[in-house]
Structure 1
Amino acid sequence: MRRLGMSMGLGGVIMGLVTIPEIIEQGHGAPGWWSPVAALLTFGGFPILAAVSARARPAVIRAVSGLTAVSFLVALAITPLAVQPHTLDASSVWLYRMLPLGMLAAALAWRLLWSVVYLLVGSTAVACVNVYLVEQFSAMSALSGLLRASGLASLFLWCVTCARGAGARVDRESAIAGRRAAATAASTARDHERARFAALIHDAVLSTLLDASRGAEDTPAGPPPVGGPKPCPGKAAGEISVLRRQAQSTLDQLDEIRVDVREPDVLDARSAVIFLRSAVHEINPGIRFATRTWPGFDDLRMPVAVAGTLAAALGEAVRNSLRHAAIPGRPVHRTVTCTISAGSIRLVFNDDGAGFDVEQVSADRLGISVSILGRMRQLAGGAGFVESQPGEGTTVTLVWGGDGSA
């Protein structure tokens, strides 16, 4: 939406500058106020559209684009009231060729149905205005003007509709890819735990049972035969002691993974990092994602729902930086540092961009208060912090501790 809005805004400005000589020439036979007012209504919204498309939300871009499209129809409506019939010495009124600009704005602002309605209304309006001011009225001239106007405007409508449809498909595929990444990470975590459990069963439980069965076979069922070798009490006691220690060690290991077996939809440290890194790189693959680990990091067990919340808050921090941290004349460096320790994770997003005064952020700035800090406050064991100063960049810290204490 931003790229389309900026392209259309700049295109409208260029068309306005190119059309200035024709506007001045055709204004000689009309009231003095008509040319500037009609030009302002036709082209005035496009520089605003280009400006808001740099950083504004899509809803704002659509609103400005819709006003721009409507203002062009207003320019058409006032023209017959200001200019006398057949007083323009030209092949066509300059407004006639501006319908594609209005069509672009309408296609960006509204759904296809309303854009088609705008196409029909706009084509009819420009054809009538052109016949009223320039051409001699006839059914053929009116039909020809309508077809020429609607044909080019239809082409622009088709292009914008295809572009918006492609963008929507990219958004849907990104969301699907994110859900698939989460499911894959969860499946990987489950497979890892199953393999770990199977190895424990084979290496510890079965070997303990095998050693115990061998010990039972070697132990005589009754008293030793007369004259035969006497059993060694020390050896038997030693074997029993080893079996007890091995059995106790096996039980301890089973106790450690019991929670993981009951709750398989969790990510281990590696899967969590892959999931969070993919969430960042889906937004901007150029952002550096660094990982640090502390002793005990393998103990991290993060539920998939928690990983999704962290990824959403981190993604909003990245998007806010891309929207607002740009500094003209130099690149802005952005880095995510993921630190994993025993049962907890800390994500630090940092940029060296424009920065802002945290205390001056209004409560209705949902990107920070709701999408970042609000998400982390609602997450058990989670916390979020935003630090920034004008000209000194921004740091967003997200913390989660599996024990409920961040």
Structure 2
Amino acid sequence: MTAFGTLDDVPATSVASVDPVRTARWWRGLAALAERTKDEAAADRILRRLGSIFGLAGVIAGVVEIPEIIDQSRFASLGWTVVVAVLAFGLFPVLAMVSIRRTRATIQAVAAAAAISYLIALAIAPVVYQEMPGHTTSLYLYRVFALGVLAAALAWRPSPAIGYVVVGSVLAALANRAVFPQEDFWSLAGDFARAAGLCALFLWCAIYARAAAARVDRESAIASSRAAAAAGAAARDRERARFAALIHDAVLSTLLDASRAGTESPVLRGQAERTLTQLEAARGSDIEPDLLNAHSAVHFLRAAVHEVNSGIEFTARRWAGFDDLRLPVHTAGTIAAALAEAVRNSLRHATVPGRALRRTVTVTVSAGGIRVVFRDDGAGFDLGKVPADRLGVSVSILGRMRQLAGGAGFVESSPGEGTTVTLVWGGDG
């Protein structure tokens, strides 16, 4: 036996600890998550990834600063030391976790809480750290203030985030000078300039990344709309050309032969029957040569919703292996028109004074079909009391879907309980 032993020397539990079933389930879950996020808007994807990165950065910074926290807390209360550290770093692990699979609103809410929590830590630091070790030159919270700025960049629009940098830099400089008293004004100004200058760079990077992702979404929506419109126009042109060829080659030819024959002819009768059959087939044809796949259909519907209101939350779900959608362009247009009308109705009638409403659209693509659900938590209404002259629901939504081959629409609502509009298409036959 060698010094390394043999396989027989390895405990059985070490070999059995890798469960192939559990490992396969984990990989399937990871693949499903990747599939679900593939159709997210670029702005949502970059927000999710930046949230994960910034959350991990906060965790790493907290671990790296542990020796400094311990050193600077030798003359402070243990309880207050823990409170300040938790306020500064405690929400960043939460931010990293919610960024994996939670909604955009949840990620931004946690980021806002982390940014505000950091400001609170800076505000109470001068009370906690009244005496510092002689070899220390700056408060650890001052050095990692960029963490709070990164969280603010995720939580808010550029203007509030810039305001956060200014206010936070003043607070960080004051906290640092309160702990390390110096009567020189220029030392305080230098602390502010260093904090604001460094954090402005981080803020610019985060804002630019989010703006670039939003620009990608806008261009993608415009391109999808133009592609769908071009596809529809091309389909109509081809249908006109096909029908014109049929008129020229069959109808006119039959009429010409009939005018020349003058008497009943079996050949002419057969030609006329074939021509009538071709005309009937052309009239009743439901074949649409231009089709949208799952990815294009989702972008088409997202563009229709965000054209009405860009603030509505849009989620797409696709099932790997069962999303072979082939959606005709005219069908996509009908669904988009009904969906846009549902959104407009909600914006007009669902408002509740003094309360912010949540409006969401969820698109689910399955084998050969699509399901679109619009929900709001607004005022709601009694379907039985809708006036006959109110055509938004009965004609513009339900009527459109009833006239669509393979389509159906449903509206669920009650006073005070919000409204749910479901649009379903399962193929033309």
Contact 2:317 2:363 in 1 (8 A): no
1:27-60 deviations in whole A, cap 9, x for unaligned?
Answer: 0022222321111000001001011111111011
Structure 2: distance between partners of 1:270 and 1:289: 22
Which residue number in structure 2 is paired with residue 382 of structure 1?
A: 407
Deviation of residue 256 (structure 1)?
4.3
Alignment equivalent of 1:188, drawn from 226, 229, 234: 234
1:377, 1:8 → 2: CA distance? 48
- State whether residues 29 and 88 of structure 1, in contact with CA within 8 Å, keep that contact through their aligned partners in structure 2: no
User: C-alpha separation between the residues in 1 aligned to 2:61 and 2:51?
Assistant: 15
Moved more, 183-192 or 375-384: 375-384
1:304 and 1:243 map into 2 onto residues whose CA distance is 43
Instruction: Verify: 1:279 aligned to 2:304, yes or no.
Output: no
Alignment deviations for residues 94-118 of structure 1 (CA, whole Å, 9 cap, x no partner) = 0101210000000100011100110
Letter in 2 for 1:271: D
- Is contact 2:294–2:325 with CA below 8 Å preserved after alignment? no
Change (3 A) 1:51 1:155: same
Provide, for residues 269-296 of structure 1, a one-character-per-residue CA deviation record: whole Å limited to 9, x for no partner: 4422x44453369989995577699xxx
Tell me, yes or no, if the aligned pair for 2:54 and 2:92 is still in contact at 8 Å.
yes
Greater Cα offset, 241-250 or 7-16: 241-250
Report the counterpart of residue 108 of structure 1 in structure 2. Answer: 154
Q: Name the residue aligned to 1:200.
A: 246
> Is 1:237 aligned to 2:274, yes or no?
no
TM-score by length of 2: 0.63
Letter in 2 for 1:155: L
Over residues 349-403 of structure 1, what are the superposed CA-to-partner deviations in whole Å (9 max), with x where a residue is unaligned? xxxxxxxxxxxxxx999xxxxxxxxx9999434369xxxxxxxxxxxxx65355x
- Unmatched runs of 5 consecutive residues or more in structure 2: 1-46, 301-315, 341-359, 378-396, 410-423
Q: 250-259 or 91-100: which moved more?
A: 250-259
Specify which of 143, 146, 152 is matched with residue 97 of structure 1: 143
Across the aligned residues of Structure 1 and Structure 2, the Cα RMSD in angstroms comes to: 4.0
CA deviation digits over 1:231-280, x for unaligned, max 9? Answer: xxxxx432xx43344335434533443477xxxxxx844422x4445336
CA deviation after TM superposition for structure 1 residue 186, in Å: 1.2
* Structure 2 CA distance for aligned equivalents of residues 310 and 377 of structure 1: 9
Q: Give the direction of change, closer, same or farther, for the CA distance of 1:308–1:292 in structure 2 (3 Å limit).
A: closer
- Relative distance call for 1:69 and 1:306 in structure 2 (3 A) is same
> How many residues were matched structurally?
313
Q: Do the aligned residues in 2 keep the contact of 1:279 with 1:311 (CA within 8 Å)?
A: no
Q: Does 1:123 align with 2:169?
A: yes
Alpha carbons of structure 1 residues 364 and 89: separation in structure 2 relative to 1, 3 Å: farther
For 1:316 and 1:301, how far apart are their aligned partners in 2? 17
Whole-Å Cα distance in 1 between the matches of residues 150 and 323 of structure 2? Answer: 43
Give, in whole Å, the separation in 2 of the partners of 1:96 and 1:311.
Answer: 50
SS at match of 1:33: helix
* Partner of residue 316, structure 1: 363
Which residue in 1 is equivalent to 2:331? 303
Offset of 1:303 from its aligned partner? 3.1
Question: Pairwise mapping of residues 1-400 of structure 1 onto structure 2 (< 5 A)?
Answer: 1-84=47-130, 89-215=135-261, 236-238=263-265, 241-258=266-283, 268-272=287-291, 274-276=292-294, 278-279=296-297, 303-306=331-334, 308=336, 316-317=363-364, 337-338=367-368, 346=369, 379-380=401-402, 381-382=406-407, 399-400=425-426
Q: Take 2:158 and 2:329, find their aligned partners in 1: how far apart are those partners?
A: 47
Q: Is the 8 A contact 1:86 1:132 kept in 2?
A: no
The residue matched to 1:38 in structure 2 has which SS?
A: helix
Cα pair distance change 1:304/1:284, threshold 3 Å? closer
1:2: Cα distance to partner?
0.9
Gaps of 5+ in 1: 217-235, 261-266, 294-299, 319-335, 339-345, 349-362, 366-374, 385-397
Give 1 or 2 for the bigger CA radius of gyration: 1
Name the CA distance, whole Å, in 2 between partners of 1:174 and 1:65.
27
Of structures 1 and 2, the one scoring higher in RCO (CA 8 A, sep 6+) is 2
Letter in 1 for 2:282: I
Give the 3 Å change call, closer, same or farther, for CA 292–159 of structure 1 in structure 2.
closer
Listed one character per residue, the Cα deviations across residues 161-185 of structure 1 (whole Å, up to 9, x for unaligned) are 0111011112222322332232133
Q: 1:286 to 1:158 in 2, by over 3 A?
A: farther
CA distance in 2, matches of 1:14, 1:80: 24
- What secondary structure sits across from 1:92 in the alignment? coil
Distance 1:90 1:19 in 2: 13
* C-alpha distance in structure 1 between counterparts of 2:325 and 2:220, whole Å: 27
CA distance in 2 between counterparts of 1:111 and 1:347 reads 34
Q: For 2:137, what is the secondary structure of its paired residue?
A: coil
